[in-house]
Chain A
Amino acid sequence: MKIRGIKPMQGEHVNVTPLIDVVMCLIIFFLLVGHIAKKASIKGIKIPSTATGKSIGSQSNELIINLVPRHSDVQGVQRRPRIYIWGSYYTYNNLASVLREYKSHHPSLKLIIRADMHTQYRYLAPVLVACAKAKIVSVHFMTRRQG
């Protein structure tokens, strides 16, 4: 029986189709990851620096609470920052119930607080209390490395 081999390529060109397939997949991956990252962490927050810290490993089940600062009022008093989770705005009043709901769906929830370094503690404390109310006993503060 005569076995028919693969026909040799006609041209001198290398077949770039698989290369384009892979590269296109990578580009789509980077675009999607960039889009998700942008949605999760809002710009305009200057996170505090620390001399100590660690990475939290796997990014699954993580929930980032963004405290987006607002301009001070006419008298120079700092205004309450806005709370954003996954790009959606939440009030301080409904934060605990929202966190409780997240916690019920994801028991191993990793909660990350991303607040501006100038945010006054009075605006941060209610977020910590909301976490405790939702029985989230482990909270991660997002920081950047000093130096």
Chain B
Amino acid sequence: MALKRSKIGMHSAHHVGPNMTPMVDVVMVILIFFMLGSSFTSPVWYLTNNTPAIRGGFSNVKTTKFPPVKLIIKLDRRGDHTMATIGSYQTENLQGSLFNWLNKRRKILGKKTQLIIKPHQRVPYQDVITVYGDCVRARYHEVAFGMPTR
């Protein structure tokens, strides 16, 4: 009988510790979950601005000297839309027409033109960023934000 038992036992493992297989399974699932979860987060990117505030804005903040040529982009609220005005030029198409206009103007005035974005106080951040994105896309290097208009 004892001999029989030992023969049967030979087929089973000699491992004496706890069975690690379920733990490894669970841990692997958690690891894969975290790895996939981190890759599903929406990609972000950044718009960088080097002259955030204009001279004489709130509290007389001093910033770097401005280049001689200045363009002021006024952003006003018309109902639910934002209207961009530069001199006599006006548009509500912030991503198409405005970008084209800025691009053409840069070719005439050069890269050293200073752009100042002066949004109305109620203009949403999305529109401010869209206009700023246009300026960056049109390769203007000096873009500043003015104090909000009323």
Interface, chain A (partner B; CB < 8 A): 10-13, 16, 19-20, 23-24, 26-27, 30-31, 33-34, 47-56, 112, 115-122, 124-126, 128-129, 131-133, 136-145
Q: Collect the chain A residues with CB atoms within 8 Å of residue B63's CB.
A: 132, 137
Q: A19-B24, A118-B126, A120-B123 are in contact. Are A51 and B46 (CB under 8 A)?
A: no
Q: Collect the chain B residues with CB atoms within 8 Å of residue A24's CB.
A: 27
Complex contact B44–A54 (CB within 8 A): no
Q: A116-B125, A117-B126 are in contact. Are A141 and B43 (CB under 8 A)?
A: no
Give how many B residues have a beta carbon under 8 Å from the other chain's beta carbons.
Answer: 52
Q: A30-B34, A53-B133 are in contact. Are A133 and B61 (CB under 8 A)?
A: yes
Which segment, of B1-9, B103-111, B114-122, faces chain A?
B114-122
Complex contact B128–A124 (CB within 8 A): yes
Q: Collect the chain B residues with CB atoms within 8 Å of residue A118's CB.
A: 124-126
Q: Which residue of A is nearest B136, CB measured? A: A52
Complex contact B53–A131 (CB within 8 A): yes
> Does B64 count as interface, using CB distance less than 8 angstroms?
yes
Complex contact B27–A23 (CB within 8 A): yes
Q: Collect the chain B residues with CB atoms within 8 Å of residue A54's CB.
A: 45-46, 48
Q: In the docked arrangement, what's the CA distance between A49 and B49, Å? A: 16
Complex contact A137–B52 (CB within 8 A): yes
Number of residue pairs A-B, CB distance < 8 angstroms: 158
Complex contact B20–A20 (CB within 8 A): yes
> Does B71 count as interface, using CB distance less than 8 angstroms?
no
Complex contact A144–B15 (CB within 8 A): no
- Name 7 extra pairs, CB < 8 A, besides A48-B129, A50-B47, A143-B44: A23-B24, A30-B31, A53-B45, A55-B46, A117-B126, A120-B122, A140-B48
Cross-interface CB contact of B46 among A11, A16, A53, cutoff 8 Å: A53
Q: In the docked arrangement, what's the CA distance between A20 and B26, Å? A: 11
Q: Collect the chain A residues with CB atoms within 8 Å of residue B122's CB.
A: 120-122
Q: Collect the chain A residues with CB atoms within 8 Å of residue B58's CB.
A: 125-126, 129
Q: A20-B24, A48-B126, A50-B130 are in contact. Are A125 and B145 (CB under 8 A)?
A: yes
How far apart are B23's CB and chain A's nearest CB, in angstroms? 7
Complex contact A132–B61 (CB within 8 A): yes
Q: List 23 A-B contacts (CB under 8 A).
A: A11-B14, A16-B24, A23-B27, A48-B129, A49-B126, A53-B133, A54-B46, A117-B124, A117-B126, A121-B120, A121-B123, A122-B121, A125-B147, A128-B52, A128-B53, A128-B145, A129-B58, A129-B61, A132-B61, A137-B50, A138-B49, A141-B49, A144-B42
Residues 6-47 of B at the A interface (beta carbon under 8 Å):
13-15, 20, 23-24, 27-28, 30-31, 34-35, 37-38, 42-47
